Structures are given as structure tokens and as C-alpha cells.
Amino acid sequence: LTVSITHIEHIGIAVQDLERSVAFYEKTYGLRCYGIEEVPDQQVRTAFFRVGETKIELLASTSPDGPIARFLERRGEGMHHLAFAVDGLGETLRHVQDAGVELIDARPRPGAEGLQIAFLHPRSTHGVLTELCSEKES
Ligand code: ZN
């Protein structure tokens, strides 16, 4: 069993107001938002920017008790998670679980941009909420 991380797929940033934050990234950094998408499963609206091979994913909550709303309440706006692109998400999850990592998602679920995703608990990843993504479930 091996893990093949190909690149940092995106960095997730929790924001209070998606439109205002998109405007900030566009105006300040000259980046262009190429997509806004609601992900009902995670109770978020997301906005994406390409930065080289990786992306910035802004996340705003669509529900007062969703995971991003709770994060904002506790920690305020800021870096929320790091997402690695992997080959074979199902196999990677089994591998990291065997390595002792606590999984938030025991199996892949649908994320933004048609990707399959799963989160690892920051308790067992040195404090970084980590998302694994792949093009399709394996
Ligand atoms: Zn993400």
C-alpha cells in the first residue's frame, strides 16, 4: 500500500462574506475567481482561484451551525485546511488509517469541482486539517 500525492490541490480559507473576500483576492492580488459553487454536503459556498498548479478555495458557511460557521466562531477567518491531490483516494485512506491517522471521513464523499474528497483529523496530523482529493473514487 502506497500513497501518491501529486500536488497541493488547494488551500482552504474560511471567510465570513464570500463576495467581499472574492473582491479582495481579485483587487489585491489580481487573481480571477473562475467558479463559485455550493457544496450542500459541507454546508458551504466555495470560490476558486488558480495559483499555478494549486488553487485557493474560499469557504463561506451556508448554515449557522455548519462546520465553517463553527470554525469562524472559534477561530475567526483564516486558513482552514490543506488539500493534497492523490492518486487513488480509497487506497490512500486505508493507508493513512493503517498508519494511525484518525479519519473524519472513513470513505470518499463528493466535494467541489466534481472531486472525491475525505478529511483527516488535525489531532493526528500535527494540527493541520488535511483533505485528500482525487478525480474519482478508487
Ligand atoms: Zn477543500
Q: How confident is the model at residue 2 (pLDDT cuts 50, 70, 90)?
A: confident
pLDDT at position 1: 61
77 CA distance to ligand 1 middle (Å): 15
Q: What whole-number percentage of the chain has pLDDT above 90? A: 88
Look up residue 26 and give its three cell numbers. Answer: 481579485
- Report yes or no: 49 and 36 within 8 Å, Cβ to Cβ: no
pLDDT at position 138: 46
* pLDDT at position 23 over 80: yes
* pLDDT at position 137 over 80: no
- Average pLDDT on 87-109 reads 94
* pLDDT at position 90 over 50: yes
List Cβ neighbours of 82 (8 Å cut-off, separation of 6 or more).
8, 11, 12, 128, 129, 130, 131
| b/e burial code for range 80-100 (CB count within 10 A of at least 16 → b) | bbbbbbbebbebbbebbeeee
pLDDT at position 85: 97
pLDDT in tens, 7-17: 999 999 999 99
pLDDT in tens, 42-77: 899 999 999 999 999 999 999 999 999 999 999 999
129 CA distance to ligand 1 middle (Å): 10
Residues 44 and 50: their CA atoms lie apart, in Å, by: 19
10 CA distance to ligand 1 middle (Å): 6
Q: 3-state class of 77 per DSSP? A: coil
> Which carries the bigger pLDDT value, residue 113 or residue 47?
47
- Average pLDDT on 104-129 reads 93
- Average pLDDT on 101-107 reads 95
47 CA distance to ligand 1 middle (Å): 10
